[in-house]
Structure 1
Amino acid sequence: MDKQVKLSEAEWYIMNVLWENQKLEKDALELKQITKELKEQTGWSSGTVRTMLLRLIDKGAVSVDQTTGVYKYSTLIDKERCVQEEASSFLERIYQGSISQFVACFAKEGKISKEEREEILQLINQMKEEE
């Protein structure tokens, strides 16, 4: 992904369905498959999903294959990079770029599990070793 693509909250739902499908190395998805995946979670109609897919195509985040007569949708952008850009934007917007303030917010609320604390400590130790 050469350019940053800003996804709306609703677009994240669709992208996650497409990324999950891609992770399973399946073919591109038809509109009805995407709608079915999202129906219970969001209650969206196929018209709503189609509108959001068109927006994602315009943004360069999704491609559509029309060669078989049935529109099939797949992602054009990498999930990890998209998540990283969204996290960086959130961190800058809410915590003025301070990771320590972000972690402290969750630590004070007791929302970091023992396993997550261990993961954070491992990351910190790994960063120290790389210095």
Structure 2
Amino acid sequence: MKLTDTEWQIMNCLWERYPATARGISERLPKEVKWAYTTIRTLLSRLVDKGAVREYKQGITSQYEPVLKQEDAQRSAFKTLLNQAFDGAFGPMLHFLVNDQSLTDTQRQALAEALEAQSKKKGDSHD
């Protein structure tokens, strides 16, 4: 499921803590985001229509909770990025990540360890 940038912000609030009301989400958005209450309700309505969020009434108040799992949304976004920026090729993307100057040594080490663990898990090690 593809999410817009604004939908990601709403979903991040919901993944952090749910159920939540539109007002509760408004209070948890970053300070630089100054959306009207009606804008948040519209975004939530779109997310409900997409099947990413479930709405239920508690009295007269609408409560929202995520249906879409964060990991599934991340996987979908990653595949989109991989296809758009690297023509679906994992090798060039990995090369970019390893050589990216904005990665810290700790992040590079974590990436190397994750690759090593995956290699051992799949039995791909040629040691």
> TM-score, normalised to structure 2's length?
0.87
Q: Structure 1 118/35 Cα, relative in aligned 2: closer, same or farther at 3 Å? A: same
Give 5+ residue unaligned stretches, structure 1: 23-27
Q: 1:120 aligns with which of 86, 111, 114?
A: 111
* Equivalent residue, structure 2, for 1:11: 7
Which residue identity does 1:84 align to in structure 2?
R
Which residue identity does 1:96 align to in structure 2?
D
* Equivalent residue, structure 2, for 1:75: 66
CA contact (8 A) 1:38 1:44 kept: no
Q: Identity of paired residues, percent? A: 24
CA RMSD of aligned residues (A): 1.5
Q: How many angstroms apart in 2 are the aligned matches of 1:61 and 1:70?
A: 19
The count of aligned residue pairs is: 122
Task: Describe how 1:1-131 pairs up with structure 2 within 5 A.
Answer: 5-22=1-18, 28-38=19-29, 40-129=31-120, 130-131=122-123
Q: How many angstroms apart in 2 are the aligned matches of 1:111 and 1:59?
A: 35
CA contact (8 A) 2:98 2:108 kept: no
Q: How many angstroms apart in 1 are the aligned matches of 2:15 and 2:32?
A: 17
Q: How many angstroms apart in 2 are the aligned matches of 1:126 and 1:32?
A: 43
CA contact (8 A) 2:54 2:64 kept: yes
Deviation at 1:128, TM superposition (A): 2.0
CA contact (8 A) 1:39 1:45 kept: no
Q: How many angstroms apart in 1 are the aligned matches of 2:6 and 2:74?
A: 15
Give 5+ residue unaligned stretches, structure 2: none
Q: How many angstroms apart in 1 are the aligned matches of 2:60 and 2:119?
A: 55
CA contact (8 A) 1:63 1:73 kept: yes
Deviation at 1:21, TM superposition (A): 0.3
> TM-score, normalised to structure 1's length?
0.85
Q: How many angstroms apart in 2 are the aligned matches of 1:120 and 1:106?
A: 9
